[in-house]
Amino acid sequence: LYPGMDEIASAIAQRADCFRTFAGMRARPSIVAPAIRADELDVLVYPELGMDACSFALAALRLAPRQHAGWGHPVTTGHPTIDAFVSCDVMEPQGAEAHYTEALVKPPGIGTRYEPLTMPDDASRARFGLPEDRKLLLCPQSLWKIHPDNDALFAEILAANPNALLVLFEGRYPAVGEQFMRRLTRVLSEHGVSAPERIRVLPQVGHDDYLRINLVCDAMLDTMHWSGGNTSLDALACGLPMVTLPGAFMRGRQSAGMLQLLGIAELIARDRADYLAIAARLCRDPAWRVDLSRRIRAGQARLFDVRDAIASLETLIQTGALPA
């Protein structure tokens, strides 16, 4: 299914006993479901459910005796045909079981083994037309994930820190990007902040250039309600400090969980005012930023290439044992 044979799919194909592709018009439940059913699987695992229409429809069918979903899309599926939702212990709040229709499985750490990234060594601001004399605050989230509650937060940070620029990425859908920028520009104007002077919107880039942009920025502003996942892991791999405010649900607590594993809880805000204070210090205290970056890099062995969760997942797959 989409996105087809990328690098990850190719790696899976090399290790799988059986690998099938369903491209274009063949990526339909009416075609894919009979093929899965014919395989007579013992367990069917969906790494995510919610971002692809075909897989979400397939998950509504009972195609295997046991069916599980992972936290690639960190929201309950709502499907009675999904028996377990595999999340992770560090990102879930107390009482999280009430947030899922599935049995909640919480492996240790971030719930998966995330391979370390190879960093490019030629990052520079000039490469991306970014100024050398400004504090660059990166918000790399997809624009459609940025809740309107974040607009005033960004505006207050920029108003209080005149040397800071907010760095964003263009969205895949121009209409969504234009709507977002109109919304954000209006809120910035209400706070006396000029969007053209204080925001840099970069085009979509390849992953190496994306890492280079992380490397040349000063800090990352995590988004409320729906925090970074892969974007936060990439930022931390680059040693980029981030400020985050955990939400009520796992989808808003991913960055906070990563920072907890790294032992850098001082970047986890208690409330909105604390978020603003942390962001201000990140803008104004270069020695603190350097120390945070050093500690992030020093602690990466607790976040990347950690195998602790694998045993928990093996038990789930092999025995089907679920939480009571």
Q: In terms of domains, do 282 and 311 share one?
A: no
Total of domains in the chain? 2
Query: Which pLDDT score, from 0 to 100, does residue 324 have?
Result: 56
Q: Which residues pair with 43 in a beta bridge?
A: 66
CATH number assigned to the domain comprising residue 132: 3.40.50.2000
Q: Which residues pair with 166 in a beta bridge?
A: 137, 199
pLDDT along the chain (324 residues), means of 10: 79 92 90 96 96 96 97 96 96 96 94 92 96 97 95 98 97 92 98 97 96 98 96 97 97 97 97 98 98 97 91 90 73
Query: Which pLDDT score, from 0 to 100, does residue 320 have?
Result: 87
Q: In terms of domains, do 289 and 161 share one?
A: yes
Query: Which pLDDT score, from 0 to 100, does residue 3 have?
Result: 64
Q: In terms of domains, do 163 and 20 share one?
A: no
> What gap in Å lies between CA 67 and CA 222, rounded to an integer?
32
CATH number assigned to the domain comprising residue 24: 3.40.50.11380
Domain span at residue 201 reads 126-302
Q: In terms of domains, do 255 and 172 share one?
A: yes
Q: In terms of domains, do 34 and 164 share one?
A: no
Q: In terms of domains, do 230 and 131 share one?
A: yes
Other beta carbons within 10 angstroms of residue 292's beta carbon come to 22
Query: Which pLDDT score, from 0 to 100, does residue 321 have?
Result: 84
Q: In terms of domains, do 213 and 100 share one?
A: no
Q: In terms of domains, do 141 and 288 share one?
A: yes
Count H helices and E strands in the chain, helices first: 12, 9
* CB within 8 Å of 262: residues ≥ 6 apart: 236, 295, 296, 299, 300, 302, 303
The token pair at 172 is: 């895949």
Q: Tell me what percent of the chain is helix, strand and coil, each rounded to the nearest 5.
A: 45, 10, 45
In a domain, 174, yes or no: yes
Q: Is-above-0.85 flag for pTM?
A: yes
Q: How many CA atoms lie within 13 A of 20 on its CB side?
A: 11
